[in-house]
Amino acid sequence: MSALVPFDNSYAALPARFSARQDPTPVRAPTLLKLNEGLCEQLGLDPAALRGDEGVAMLAGNAVPDGAAPLAMAYAGHQFGHFVPQLGDGRAILLGELIGADGVRYDLHLKGAGRTKFSRGGDGRAWLGPVLREYLVAEAMHALGVPTTRALAAVATGEPVLRESALPGAVLTRVGQSHVRVGTFQYFAAREDEEALAALTAYVVERHVPAEARDGKSPAEALLDHVAAGQAALVAAWMGVGFIHGVMNTDNTQVAGETIDYGPCAFMDHYDPATVFSSIDRQGRYAYGNQPAIAQWNVARLAEALIPVLDDKDDIALDKAKAGVDRFADLFNRAYLTRFREKVGLWVPADDHAARLDEDKDLLTGLLDGMADHRADFTNTFRALGRAVTGDETEVRAALGAGADAWLARWRQRLAQDPRPDDERRGLMDQVNPAFIPRNHQVEAALDDAVAGDLGRFDRLFDTLRRPYDDQPDQVLLQAPPTPDQVVRATFCGT
């Protein structure tokens, strides 16, 4: 009989202090609610086998399949700017790794699989609302083209989870290229464990940094550059779709550049850079417009943790650390401008990036400021720009109000300097300006139904979000921003 999952574990082979060996805690009555067949295929797993008794037992944490090496990873992290020297997987267990059909090494992680050495006062469990929320939003992000951890399965446990009230328990199977975080490096840096820092660096470089990107660099430099580049690309992608992560703590900053930890995240409706969704983020530290600066701050925390392994000489190590942080800023600025140029219909060759830089920044600022002044919907306004290219300016005019004439005239002048057929330009714009995002009020309504036992609304939303760049005329209601009474007051907080 072939194994359920052809595990090929590498993290478990690292020194004992990197993790705590821990089996998942079985649950009473597992029911498979969702299985991601497309992801099964990418991973080379058999969906029928995962739907079978053995498969569901694995996804619920009720059986440890052959070849797995379940463990809880040790990590630290800055939470809302405050350093916590020990966090770790308190309610998630790395079952093991596998090499996907695409040749990439993936982690299979069970979130909500019971207590571990790192649980502190927590119960090690998750409840259905946040589990389905992560399943939906992570897969929507993937369809939008944003690097992300994925959701393979959601299982109801048949057990209550006690929060303010008793809620239905669930386990999410999360798949990621890595679960190493900036906080993993901070864990060893805080313990002045240079040997572990070097071993972790070597591990991450070997696993994640392509050989050509290591040339002429020490492992720690290669790692820092890789994480800086990955975070720059990631946050530029978030900004382009109006995504607000909500908890950009260093323990939620993963080294492979994937979005991880979907807690109180949400997509912005009307454009306002100060938008915050998380009710615990009272200072707005993780507001939409702060995300680039925070990502850079997180990269700086990695650089700081790596100082002992960046160079023997302190001053040289510091210079190298600083270079990594500067690299983030350069790459982010470039990626952000490229993304937003595309969103307004401009494809500038990489070697012409600096040409018309100020002019283009002004053009974008003019648009975004106008949108902010009129509380214009971020997603719908950019999508409408594509229609403006082919002649229908109605929505853009409505979004920009009195300033529309002036802005549209400037925009048309700029487009004329990058001539291409209108249909072609609009087609390209429609591939970067989504028609559909998981709007928070729709997500909450779908989750309310799902928790009450009806997955119909969830499934419709999920299916629509699989093709976010396609017009889907029968789903136009999902494009509408919330009416005042639909605005979500408190977002599910992931715990």
**Binding residues vs ligand AMP (CB under 6 A):** 87-91, 118-119, 122-125, 251-252, 261, 263, 494-495
87, interface contact from ligand AMP, Mg ion, none, CB < 5-8 Å by kind? ligand AMP
Q: Which is nearer to ligand AMP, 188 or 378 (CB)?
A: 188
Q: Which stretch binds Mg ion (CB under 5 A): 12-20, 249-257, 388-396, 449-457?
A: 249-257
Q: Between vectors from CA 277 to CA 294 and to CA 170, what angle results, nearest 5°?
A: 105
89, interface contact from ligand AMP, Mg ion, none, CB < 5-8 Å by kind? ligand AMP
How far, in whole angstroms, is CA 398 from its chain's centroid?
32
107, interface contact from Mg ion, ligand AMP, none, CB < 5-8 Å by kind? none
Residues in a beta bridge with 109: 94, 174
Residue 173 contacts Mg ion per CB under 5 A: no
Residue 258 contacts Mg ion per CB under 5 A: no
Minimal distance in Å, beta carbon 486 to ligand AMP? 27
Q: Which is nearer to ligand AMP, 26 or 47 (CB)?
A: 26
251 is catalytic: yes
Residue 252 contacts Mg ion per CB under 5 A: yes
Q: Which is nearer to Mg ion, 258 or 261 (CB)?
A: 261
Q: Which is nearer to Mg ion, 77 or 240 (CB)?
A: 77
Minimal distance in Å, beta carbon 26 to ligand AMP? 17
Residue 261 contacts Mg ion per CB under 5 A: yes
List of residues 6+ apart from 155 with CB closer than 8 A: 30, 31, 32, 33, 56, 59, 60, 170, 171, 173
Minimal distance in Å, beta carbon 91 to ligand AMP? 4
3-state secondary structure the chain: CCCCCCECCCHHHCCHHHEEECCCCCCCCCEEEEECHHHHHHHCCCHHHHHCHHHHHHHHCCCCCCCCCCEEECCCEEECCEEECCCCCCCEEEEEEEECCCCCEEEEEEECCCCCCCCCCCCCCEEHHHHHHHHHHHHHHHHHCCCECEEEEEEEEEEEEECCCEEEEEEEEEEECCCCEHHHHHHHHHCCCHHHHHHHHHHHHHHHCCHHHCCCCCHHHHHHHHHHHHHHHHHHHHHHHCEECCCCCHHHCECCCCECCCCCCEECCECCCCCCCCCCCCCCCCCHHHHHHHHHHHHHHHHHHHHHHHCCCHHHHHHHHHHHHHHHHHHHHHHHHHHHHHHCCCCCCHHHCCCCHHHHHHHHHHHHHHHHHCCCEHHHHHHHHHHHHCCCCHHHHHHHHHHHHHHHHHHHHHHHCCCCCHHHHHHHHCCCCCCCCCCHHHHHHHHHHHHCCCCHHHHHHHHHHCCCCCCCHHHHHHHCCCCHHHCCCCCCCCC
Q: Which stretch binds Mg ion (CB under 5 A): 147-155, 260-268, 298-306, 439-447?
A: 260-268
Question: Which of 107, 225, 251, 311 is labelled catalytic?
Answer: 251
119, interface contact from ligand AMP, Mg ion, none, CB < 5-8 Å by kind? ligand AMP
Minimal distance in Å, beta carbon 10 to Mg ion? 22
Q: Which is nearer to ligand AMP, 39 or 87 (CB)?
A: 87
401, interface contact from Mg ion, ligand AMP, none, CB < 5-8 Å by kind? none
Minimal distance in Å, beta carbon 252 to ligand AMP? 5
Q: Which is nearer to Mg ion, 252 or 440 (CB)?
A: 252
Q: Which is nearer to ligand AMP, 179 or 208 (CB)?
A: 179
Q: Which is nearer to ligand AMP, 115 or 217 (CB)?
A: 115
Q: Report the residue number whose CB is nearest to ligand AMP.
A: 122
Q: Provide the sign of the torsion angle of the four alpha carbons 283, 285, 288, 290, taken in this order.
A: positive
Q: Which stretch binds Mg ion (CB under 5 A): 59-67, 97-105, 261-269, 466-474?
A: 261-269
Q: What are phi and psi of 107, to 5 degrees?
A: -90, 140
Minimal distance in Å, beta carbon 176 to Mg ion? 12
Length of the chain: 495
User: Residues binding Mg ion: what is the number (CB under 5 A)?
Assistant: 2
Q: Which is nearer to Mg ion, 247 or 435 (CB)?
A: 247
Q: Which stretch binds Mg ion (CB under 5 A): 257-265, 330-338, 383-391, 464-472?
A: 257-265
Minimal distance in Å, beta carbon 174 to ligand AMP? 11
Q: Report the residue number whose CB is nearest to Mg ion.
A: 261
Distance, in Å, from the CA atom of 182 to the CA atom of 297, rounded to the nearest integer, reads: 11
Minimal distance in Å, beta carbon 122 to ligand AMP? 2
Minimal distance in Å, beta carbon 110 to Mg ion? 14
How is residue 473 written in tokens? 């005329």
Residue 278 contacts Mg ion per CB under 5 A: no
Q: What are phi and psi of 264, to 5 degrees?
A: -85, 45
Q: Which stretch binds Mg ion (CB under 5 A): 252-260, 281-289, 312-320, 486-494?
A: 252-260
Question: Hey, which residues are catalytic here?
Answer: 251
* Binding stretches for Mg ion (CB under 5 A): 252, 261
